[in-house]
Amino acid sequence: MESKTFNPFAMAQHQFDQVADLLDLDVPTRDLLRAPMREFHFLIPVRMDDGSVRVFRGYRVQHNDARGPCKGGIRFHPQETADTVRALAMWMTWKCAVVDIPLGGGKGGVVCDPHNLSQREQERLCRGWIRQMAKNVGPLEDVPAPDVMTNPQHMLWMLDEYETIHGKKYPGFITGKPVGMGGSLGRTEATGYGVIYTLREALKEQDIRPEDTTAAVQGFGNVSQFAVDLYQRLGGTVVCVSCWDQADQTSYTFRKAQGIHLAELREITDRFGGIDKAKAKAMGYDVLPGDAWIAQDVDILIPAALENQVNGETVQKIGPKVRIMAEGANGPTTPEADAFMKERGIFVIPDFLANAGGVTCSYFEQVQCNMNYFWEKDEVLGRLDQKMTSAFLAVSDLARRKKLYMRDAAYVISISRVAQASRDRGWV
């Protein structure tokens, strides 16, 4: 089965190679951009609450910093691998470039399951990660942020450890911090809202009114919840969301044909985005298998969970009505599935454009921290809307002019910008 052999880094390189051919990039530039510039693999010993010591594996990958300091999340995940982190770091480079912010791509991770760690153990793990990386990250070098199963509290512990080691205040070192401790208003909404800002523009271009559309969403974490929120405010109807069930170690889809009710689902959701099955059934939701979201009779699909969800196998289940897919997750669609989507004429808003709202708002947080002056929420979201809209319009315009698939058009813009910066610096 495809998922067993799926390698996200091989997929990221495959996507890059196709566009490098399209751009006719020279060999040194290809060699520089298709692999990370620096990688760190390390061990983090943590004293557990019972007095024993467990050793966790940690990573940080800095893909390219030609356009500015590296930027990228740190995820806590039991299935974390070096190749996943490499792929995500590479996608972050393209993501920062496509929305034209002066940052490069980085990513970090720890192989662990925070569900099974106490708060104090998680704090020691965060501080241990920083101790291993303190010489190689910083506000002018590499700026981390939260990602899968990490949150503002984790970032604050990391910031505190970094400042303790260096003996100074560096609020711009890490983003996704709590508001009031250097975090930006609007950051929580940013990724999900960004997805919908781009979707809104795609609907405008196709002359479709949001209130005439239905959507199926995969995931019910932060990105999904705020995407659903804004999409419903525009008048759209979400018929289902799916989420991972920690107890059963599998995922489920929660469907209500007339439209899900966001507030009531949030009330029965744990902090990791897991929905209580029994309570959902009592509220009138159909509880279906995890991959049922992709087969719904809807106009729009929003994968907002993990990578490799729309692959050679699952793409066959996409309903005949689907016209647009907005990728809230990183790397949800494999090249094999892309070929099918092109053939079907489904309009894809690629991940590193659709979900760039998070890194854009992280950049805003960094700017505010470095100025020591903070904006109101409306200003943050207004600037975000502006950035996401102009990035979408540039990609969609190029796609139309050159008759390119949207993902390829987004890559052409990103890779051209990073290649140019590398040339301008005299690296290649």
Q: Report the catalytic residues.
A: 107
State whether residue 79 is helix, strand or coil.
coil
Would strands 250-255 and 237-245 be described as parallel, antiparallel, or unpaired? Answer: antiparallel
Rounded Cα distance between 7 and 92, Å, is 17
Beta strand extents in 104-229 (DSSP E only): 104-110, 142-146, 214-218
Sign of the four-CA dihedral 287, 289, 293, 298? negative
Angle of the 335-344 helix axis to the 8-23 helix axis, nearest 10: 60
The residue written with tokens 């590479």 in the block is: 90
- Residues near 160 by Cβ (< 8 Å), separated by ≥ 6? 127
Q: Are 194 and 277 a contacting pair, CB within 8 Å?
A: no
Burial tier of 36 (Cβ tally within 10 Å: 0-12, 13-18, 19+): buried
